[in-house]
């Protein structure tokens, strides 16, 4: 039977944790290394189709190969419906490749997910309206029946600039602030791998630009490996250490482009000839 990737997101993804019920290891303390913490995300000759039974198989991913090095931010860019979100689900271990292999260091994605080493955030923050900012970030611990790591939650809220808003409810926050809460929640269990499905797609251009740079700063602070989906070429070049350009469905890799500018310099580089040239390269890859 072929795994299904359609329909509503599983409960664990709706809270941005990539978690499964049951006991899990405690979060590592500062300086402590978790399993798979130094791995690259490797997508090796992966193919996947969904459907089956009375429905015809629909090919979503076809012989996709790329690597996101440890600590890097990989970006998937391609046409709507090409299979970008399917690749995120495969990387999260929510579906298994029909062909090929996905690994993060020595671990398969489903093993990593069971250890709560994967964080997942969506375009919709999906916050609990009756919980404060702090309690929303603590939600992954509550779902696992674990004591929340209060010190790390305080540090996370400081990292995302929401310490002064910790006791507020989501209705009191702007759209950008709610998305920061969603990111903090996805990082609450100190994941080795963070998967982001168009997290800023619903925001206005100014807020989106600010959060792009905020994400770079957060990931540089936490040293988390990340794979992000976007439809924006400019966002891909601004955020990505490695940009993977995908074809129409079933997606294949058309181009892998490494961004050379240091993360801390990218905010000032968006109007430079270098930045515009890299955007041109990505657009040419999409059009090829």
128 contacts: CB under 8 Å, gap ≥ 6: 135, 136, 139, 170
Q: Regarding predicted confidence, which is higher, 270 or 5?
A: 270
Cα angle vertex 73, ends 187, 47, to 5°? Answer: 100
Percent with pLDDT over 70 in the chain = 86
φ/ψ (deg, to 5) at 218: -65, -45
pLDDT digits (tens, 9 = 90+) for 241-275: 999 999 999 999 999 999 988 888 888 888 899 99
201/199 Cα distance (integer angstroms): 6
Sequence-ordered list of residues with C-beta below 8 angstroms from that of 61, at least 6 positions apart, any chain: 46, 47, 48, 83, 86, 87, 90, 97, 250, 251
pLDDT tens-digit profile of 138-194?
A: 998 888 888 888 999 998 898 888 999 999 999 999 888 898 898 889 888 888 999
Would you state the pLDDT for residue 132?
Answer: 94
What pLDDT, on a 0 to 100 scale, did the predictor assign at position 103? 94
Given a cut of 70, is residue 225 above it in pLDDT? Answer: yes
What sign has the CA pseudo-torsion 223, 71, 9, 214? positive
Sign for the CA dihedral angle at 239, 259, 243, 219 comes to negative
Region 16-27 average pLDDT: 34
pLDDT at 102: 96
pLDDT of 38: 63
pLDDT > 90: what percent of the chain? Answer: 48
Task: Judge whether residue 74 has pLDDT over 60.
Answer: yes
Q: What pLDDT is attached to residue 8?
A: 35
Per-residue confidence (pLDDT) for residue 280, from 0 to 100: 95
Q: What is the pLDDT of residue 11?
A: 38
| CATH 3.20.20.100 matches 14-20+35-287 | no
Question: Given pLDDT bands bounded at 50, 70 and 90, which one contains residue 30?
Answer: very low
pLDDT at 6 over 70: no
* Residue 23: pLDDT band with limits 50, 70, 90: very low
Euclidean distance between the first and final Cα of the chain, in Å? 35
- pLDDT of the residue at 147: 87
Predicted TM-score (pTM) above 0.85: no
Bigger pLDDT: 117 vs 33:
117
Candidates 105, 135, 127, 133; CA nearest to 117 is 105
Q: Are 19 and 92 in contact (CB under 8 A)?
A: no
């Amino acid at each position: 039977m072929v795994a299904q990737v359609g329909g509503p997101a599983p409960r664990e993804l709706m809270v941005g944790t990539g978690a499964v019920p049951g006991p899990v290891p405690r979060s590592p303390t500062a300086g402590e290394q978790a399993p798979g913490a130094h791995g690259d995300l490797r997508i090796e000759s992966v193919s996947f189709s969904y459907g089956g039974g009375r429905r015809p198989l629909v090919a979503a991913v076809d012989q996709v190969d790329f690597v996101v090095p440890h600590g890097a931010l990989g970006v998937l860019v391609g046409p709507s419906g090409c299979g970008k979100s399917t690749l995120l689900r495969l990387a999260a271990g929510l579906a298994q490749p029909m062909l090929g292999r996905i690994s993060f260091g020595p671990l398969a994605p489903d093993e990593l997910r069971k250890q709560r080493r994967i964080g997942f955030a969506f375009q919709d923050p999906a916050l609990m309206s009756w919980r404060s900012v702090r309690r929303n970030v603590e939600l992954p611990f509550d779902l696992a029946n674990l004591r929340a790591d209060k010190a790390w939650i305080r540090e996370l809220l400081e990292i995302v600039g929401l310490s002064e808003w910790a006791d507020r409810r989501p209705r009191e926050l702007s759209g950008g602030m709610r998305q920061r809460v969603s990111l903090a929640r996805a990082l609450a269990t100190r994941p080795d791998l963070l998967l982001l499905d168009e997290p800023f797609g619903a925001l206005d251009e100014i807020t989106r630009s600010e959060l792009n740079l905020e994400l770079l700063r957060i990931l540089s602070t936490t040293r988390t490996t990340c794979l992000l989906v976007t439809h924006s070429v400019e966002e891909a070049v601004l955020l990505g250490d490695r940009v993977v350009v995908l074809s129409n469905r079933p997606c294949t890799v058309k181009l892998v482009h490494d961004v050379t500018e240091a993360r801390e310099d990218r905010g000032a580089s968006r109007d430079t000839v270098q930045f515009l040239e890299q955007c041109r390269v990505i657009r040419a890859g999409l059009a090829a």
